Amino acid sequence: VARAVRTRLLAGRIVGVDHDPGRCAEALARGLVDEAVPDVAAVPWGEVGLGVFCTPVDQIAAGVLQAAPACRHGTVLTDVGSTKAAIVAAVEQGLPAHAAFVGSHPLAGSDRSGPAHASELLFRDRVVVVTPTGRTPGEALERVCGFWTALGATVRHMDPAEHDRAVALTSHLPHLVASALAGILPDALRGLTATGFRDATRLAAGDPRLWEAIFLQNRPALLEVIGRLQDRVVEFKKALQTGDRSALLTLLAEGCANRTALDPPSPAG
Amino acid sequence: VARAVRTRLLAGRIVGVDHDPGRCAEALARGLVDEAVPDVAAVPWGEVGLGVFCTPVDQIAAGVLQAAPACRHGTVLTDVGSTKAAIVAAVEQGLPAHAAFVGSHPLAGSDRSGPAHASELLFRDRVVVVTPTGRTPGEALERVCGFWTALGATVRHMDPAEHDRAVALTSHLPHLVASALAGILPDALRGLTATGFRDATRLAAGDPRLWEAIFLQNRPALLEVIGRLQDRVVEFKKALQTGDRSALLTLLAEGCANRTALDPPSPAG
């Protein structure tokens, strides 16, 4: 975020927050931030126009609620968490009247993290979901939408619970499946993996603690889509057990059609 | 294969075989082959040193057995099929005494196919499994290993059934899982997919007919590894249902460790 903001000259001053002094030093050295502080309490909130919380999802609400009382009127707080309902509910329950929070989830990321992998293009042509509620001030929502748009993203408004149900399928389930697949690979077969296994399991390299928190914050929706995947795998299994070529072909063709619709192949040549 | 052979000047003359006249014309126009014929019967087998069968797995044995009687002594036939036991058994049952066949499976490929996507680098630094049996002539095995090595690959010898059990987990199961995941994506959620979903489902774009044949030729091994994946998904589900953070973290950490071991991250910078 800092890199993208910096490149576009969208902030007069950027303050980074990280409990790891090494990471603070690196962010400063790479010119990502103007100042780096070790915790939320050390941020000069009275001077902040926009605060973006990028902690693990189970720490976002607490961070926002810690910052809010120190904010001036007009400061807008947002986040980048992969879950929204629990965060938005916890924040709205404790937010002082003068502070404003808008939940955000940029559908952008990488299997790499840290200042060394910062990219000003991370949000370009990506979708950012924002999840306003009846309590979200209109100006705060506009400010947050304008911010993501300025970073090159397309903003989409959703209800927090609707967001969580959607990303359970499009983001959390793929992570779970990638992790399950990687988890059952015996060491002896490592040398027999090719691009396919690597693509299908790439997500599994994500930080286990971050994903534990995401999964636990989205339990009901995630359990629901796990059930849908299990049913689909059972359909494949039955088609194989009975040698039902037509059922097998239908299952594969549906997967192929859905995948191809996502990502039209580049023109030949 | 033709592109890689051509670039390395490994063959005096390359004859391509495809029932599709348009594809034959394109392969000729792109200089991949010197001659293109519509079927196995039209190949001048008496002049062939090495024949590589790249048809769907359920057509390989028949093609080899059709070609073999016309081959001269010394011609070596091989293939690139993703399954080996059924193909090797069927070929060895019908192969005339003067002909030689060695099963091969290059762990290389792409989600793109056709002459337009030919790459001379496809086999570089990849593993090719060869599956000789007690009936494989030593010179034929040497010839085939030398061929793949010349294309830049590392050759690994395996028993055909052992190969099939291994790739059931490293190749066929990832395809099935990618297809299952892509198959349950509702159209309405297409716009909420990001890199993660796309990576995890990339394999699903593969030709359904090719994969139907592969799955059916490797049924017992594939069913066995589907069972292992199902067990793992159930472990995730139980950890979520009971809110067992430690179990969930262990599952994610094992997946992360296995995935990271495959593909060490590039150095930061």
pLDDT (tens digit, 9 = 90+) per residue, A218-235?
999 999 999 999 999 999
At A267 the pLDDT is 43
Tell me whether residues A187 and B114 touch, CB distance under 8 A. no
* Cα torsion angle, A244, A246, A252, A255, sign: negative
pLDDT at position B264 is: 60
Number of A to B CB contacts under 8 A, please give it.
Answer: 295
Model pLDDT for residues B254-267, shown as the tens digit of each residue: 999 999 999 765 44
* Contacting residues of A for B204, CB less than 8 Å apart: 255-256, 258-259
Does the distance separating the beta carbons of B219 and A258 come in below 8 Å? no
Task: Give burial (CB, 10 Å; 0-12/13-18/19+) of A109.
Answer: middle
Query: Which residue of chain A is at minimal alpha-carbon distance from B268?
Result: A116
Q: What are the residues facing B52 on neighbouring strands?
A: B78
Q: Is A25 a residue whose pLDDT tops 60?
A: yes
Q: Is the pTM of this model over 0.90?
A: yes
pLDDT at site A112: 77
Chain A residues closer than 8 Å to B263 by CB: 198, 205
Q: Could you please report the per-residue DSSP string of B66-132? A: HHGGGSPTT-EEEE--S--HHHHHHHHHH--TT-EEE-EEES---S--SGGG--TTTTTT-EEEE--
pLDDT at B102 exceeding the cut of 50: yes
Please name the residue of chain A whose CA is at the shortest distance from the CA of residue B127. A192
pLDDT-derived band at B109, boundaries 50, 70, 90: confident
Query: What's the whole-number average pLDDT of chain B?
Result: 95
Residue B124 C-alpha, separation from nearest chain A C-alpha, in angstroms: 12
Torsion sign (Cα): B250, A111, B177, A219: positive
> Nearest-CA distance from B242 to chain A in Å?
10
Q: Which residues of A203-226 are buried (b: 16+ CB within 10 A; e: fewer)?
A: bbbbebebbbbbbbbbbebbeebb
Q: What is the per-residue pLDDT for B110? A: 75
> Cα(B251)–Cα(A175) distance, rounded to whole angstroms?
12
Band of residue A264 on the pLDDT scale cut at 50, 70, 90: low
Please classify residue A9 by burial: count the beta carbons closer than 10 Å to its beta carbon, then call 0-12 exposed, 13-18 middle and 19+ buried.
exposed
Residue A109: the pLDDT is 79
The residues pairing with A105 across neighbouring beta strands, listed in sequence order, are: A129
Instruction: Report the pLDDT averaged over residues A180-208.
Output: 96
Share of chain B above pLDDT 70, in %: 97
- The reported pLDDT for the residue numbered A185 is 98
Cα-Cα end-to-end distance for chain B: 36
Statement: residue A134 has pLDDT above 90? yes
Q: Is B65 helix (H, G, I), strand (E, B) or coil?
A: helix
Tally of CB atoms within 10 A around A100 = 23
Q: For residue A266, what pLDDT is reported?
A: 47
Instruction: Summarize the confidence of residues B149-158 as an average pLDDT.
Output: 97
Q: Do B202 and A199 touch (CB under 8 A)?
A: yes
CA angle, residues B77, B82, B87, in degrees to nearest 5: 50
Residues of B in contact with A222 (CB under 8 A): 240
Q: What is the DSSP string of B133-190?
A: -TTS-HHHHHHHHHHHHHTTPEEEE--HHHHHHHHIIIIIHHHHHHHHHHHT--GGGG
Q: How confident is the model at residue B156 (pLDDT cuts 50, 70, 90)?
A: very high
Instruction: Pick the residue of A169, A190, A192 with the most B CBs within 10 A to test the interface with B by mutation.
Output: A192
A113 pLDDT band (50/70/90 cuts)?
confident
CB-CB: which of A175, A189, A254 is closest to B183?
Answer: A254
Record: contact B240-A215, CB cut-off 8 A: yes
> Is residue B79's pLDDT more than 60?
yes
Q: Do B261 and A190 touch (CB under 8 A)?
A: yes
Tell me: the pLDDT tens digits for B227-257?
Answer: 999 999 999 999 999 999 999 999 999 999 9
Closest CB from A192, A207, A232 relative to B167: A192
Structure confidence by residue, pLDDT tens digits, B12-27: 899 999 999 999 999 9
Among the residue ranges A164-178, B105-119, B224-238, B244-258, the one predicted with the least confidence is: B105-119
Q: What is the rounded distance in angstroms from the CA atom of residue B49 to the CA atom of residue B115?
A: 23
- Partner-chain residue, chosen from B166, B189, B208, that has the shortest CB–CB distance to A256: B208
With cut-offs at 50, 70 and 90, classify the pLDDT of residue A146.
very high
Give me chain A's average pLDDT, please.
Answer: 95
